[in-house]
Amino acid sequence: MRLVEAIAELLGFGPNVTILEQLTASLLGAIFIGIFCLIHMAITGPWAKRKVNAAFADRIAVNRVGPFGLFVIVADIVRLISKELIIPDGVDRSAWDFAPILLFFSACVGFAVVPMETVAGVTIQLADPETGVVFLFAISSLASLALVIAGYSSNNKYSFLGGLRAVAQNIAYEIPLVVTAASVVLFTGTLRVSEVVAFQSRTFTDVLGVHIPSWFAFVNPFAFALFVAANLAEIGRNPFDTPEAPQEVVAGYQTEYSSVYFVFLYGSEFLHIFLGGAIIAILFLGGRTDRGCQGSFGSSSKYGAFSCSRSGHGRQYRASESTNSSKSAGKACSSFLS
């Protein structure tokens, strides 16, 4: 049973659901998956970023709020929501309000075709259309529209420049993303996400009796490396953070946002990071299942590993830190236990 069918059953819809009822169940399912991923990334993402960056800078980082400082995000959310929502003069209010919602929506709906776990006989995947891969890229590209709306409607030159930079960067790096994804589609001969995942469950080769699966990271490592780099650039992490570079455009498109709207923007950013990690895992790392990692652990480990690597990626280190990489790596590992 898929998640949409389970939600329709909980809502009391009959066996012959109408289009409106199906859309309602699908929308609720997308919001459920998006909130689940947001909770996961909102806790692990900022926490891991602070811990790793602090370890490389020889600092302690968060270790007071909750075990290992895990609940610091709760304190951050309470602090941000309790702040006043300041509306700048001259903003296009309707567009200014709409941009954070569109950014959050584009991330949530992208998870509709991402295969996740099977819990109590319910597969957490809203839909598996024939054009699932195209749907992933089309929905995620809505983030560019949200960013340029946020920048243009803020009536601020720094916000406007940040929005233009975001659109230019996303369009530029969308080309290598689509080309490398097309290589996967040519290999599998399908755009359906489940069939792409199933294709990679085959055995690619045997090395000393160990079965190597047909992950496209092994079949086409050049495309995998190019896709990872382009995906990193599209989500705007360092060193590709020109849309919100604080040295040049203050905070870019989010300069004029505060309080709950800033929470929307910041949370949506981590949702897109998680979605990017999920797309990489689906196209190149066998998706949610393989011989070694089944079900919940398989999907969470793959999606989360790439997400956390991006949330703390690209920090610039002092020369004294860079010359002793082994010591820095040891600090990063020990920071998770401090």
Please spell the DSSP secondary structure of 195-256, one letter per residue: HHHHHTTSEEEEETTEEEE--HHHH-HHHHHHHHHHHHHHTT-TTS-GGG-HHHHTTGGGTT
Question: What is the pLDDT, as a whole number, of residue 309?
Answer: 55
Residue 280 has pLDDT above 70, yes or no: yes
Tell me, what DSSP letter sits at residue 251?
Answer: T
The residue among 202 and 336 whose pLDDT is bigger is: 202
How is 60-81 classified by DSSP, letter by letter?
A: ----SSSGGGTTHHHHHHHHHH
* Structural contact between residues 255 and 247, judged by C-beta atoms closer than 8 angstroms: no
Question: What is the pLDDT, as a whole number, of residue 296?
Answer: 45
**Identity at 272, one-letter amino acid code:** H
Q: Quick: pLDDT tens for 295-313.
A: 444 455 555 555 555 555 5
Pick from 150, 318, 308, 137: nearest CA to 244: 150
Question: What is the pLDDT, as a whole number, of residue 337?
Answer: 39
Q: How many CA atoms lie within 13 A of 244 on its CB side?
A: 18
Strands (E), the chain: 118-119, 122-123, 203-207, 210-213
Q: Quick: pLDDT tens for 169-216.
A: 888 888 888 889 998 898 888 888 888 888 888 776 777 777 777 788
Question: What is the pLDDT, as a whole number, of residue 5?
Answer: 67
Q: Quick: pLDDT tens for 88-109.
A: 777 888 888 888 888 888 887 8
Question: What is the pLDDT, as a whole number, of residue 295?
Answer: 46
- If you average pLDDT over every residue of the chain, what do you get? 73
How do the residues of the chain divide into helix, strand and coil, expressed in percent and rounded to 5? 65, 5, 30
Question: What is the pLDDT, as a whole number, of residue 147?
Answer: 84
Give the global pTM: 0.74
The residue among 126 and 322 whose pLDDT is bigger is: 126
Percent of the chain with pLDDT over 70: 66
Question: What is the pLDDT, as a whole number, of residue 294?
Answer: 46
- Rounded to 5 degrees, what are φ and ψ at 100? -60, -35
| 3-state class (DSSP) for residue 2 | strand
Instruction: Calculate mean pLDDT across residues 219-235.
Output: 85
Hey, what are 275's tokens? 């979605």
Residue 293 has pLDDT above 50, yes or no: no
Q: Quick: pLDDT tens for 46-64.
A: 777 777 777 777 777 777 7
Q: How many CA atoms lie within 13 A of 160 on its CB side?
A: 8
Question: What is the pLDDT, as a whole number, of residue 336?
Answer: 38
Non-local (6+) Cβ contacts of 332 within 8 A are 51, 52, 55, 56
